Amino acid sequence: MAMSTYREAVRAGLREALAGDARVFLMGEDVGRYGGAYGCSRGLLEEFGEERVRDTPLSESAFVGAGIGAAIAGMRPIVEVMTINFSLLALDQIVNNAATLRHMSGGQLRIPLVIRMATGAGRQLAAQHSHSLEGWYAHIPGIRVLAPATVADARWMLGRALEDPDPVMIFEHAALYPLEGEIGERPAAPGIERAAVRREGSDLSLITYGGSLGKSLEAAEILASEGIAIETIDLRSLRPLDEETIIGSVCRTHRAVIVDEGWRSGSLAGEISARIMESAFDELDAPVRRVCSIESPIPYAKHLEEAALPSVAGIVATAREVLR
């Protein structure tokens, strides 16, 4: 089975999309000559030319809006926003246009647009480059929100997203780009809406996504050495949520801990917790617990940044508390 880094897997997905459909083009800051802020589009400008790989001005509202217009006109644009914090400059375009135009046109308009961006902390880039705001976008009807946590998902999710007639946002945790793993075979449909059970267990469900999956699996391995069987769920899709897999896991284990790099207040973890309470309250043997980032802008100093984020030790400690 082929091995790859997460970064190379993203690039392979972009190359396949560009080669397979003349309507597809990539646009964003530094995606062309520089090869992408994270190296994901390196070499694609030379391979496909400036019409298909377009460097844009530093104006997120302008180039996301251009992507929406191109999608309405029949193209299949892939818009790269350098980091999730910068996507706030395009919030009006995403929330008030991309997510609503199909509804407001009575179904006459379709916006087959994919917006990719890096999210998350752990690289000492401080508060304007490190936040996890994907839960905000998961709040918005009219868009699909994906969070590939594995090399295989980084490779294959893009093609599926481009098949969707509505806007899809893909959040790539920036700390994952060097991650190595197996690409695997192209997955069969349905695919991207379903959560994945990355580790089976019977004592507690760890529910997570994106950059927190590796930490959760590491915590599950530590607890396994103590005879505790942790089931680890990778959400993969944040909107829609795969409630069937989440609730099914909780019904097997009767306990749940949600690991979310977003802040606790108003978090995606809170939404998942509420859904578990609504659908599986009688199955719970203990309250649902959350492991989230500290309620503070992400610090620059390495030791403070590490302290602000969910940690393996914090996940292990919370799981032990729930299991008492």
* Catalytic (active-site) positions: 60, 129
Question: What one-letter code names the amino acid at 233?
Answer: I
Distances (CA, A) of 87 to 78, 164, 195, 299: 14, 21, 25, 20
Q: DSSP assignment, residue 174? A: G
Do the beta carbons of residue 196 and residue 149 sit within 8 Å?
no
Question: What one-letter code names the amino acid at 194?
Answer: R
If you count them, how many residues does the chain have? Answer: 324
CA–CA–CA angle 142, 238, 182 (5° rounding): 125
Two structure tokens written together for 79: 């818009």
Q: Whole-angstrom Cα distance, residue 314 to residue 244?
A: 27
- SS3 letters for 185-222? CCCCCCCCCCCEEEECCCCEEEEECHHHHHHHHHHHHH
Q: Whole-angstrom Cα distance, residue 297 to residue 57?
A: 27
Tell me what percent of the chain is helix, strand and coil, each rounded to the nearest 5: 40, 20, 40
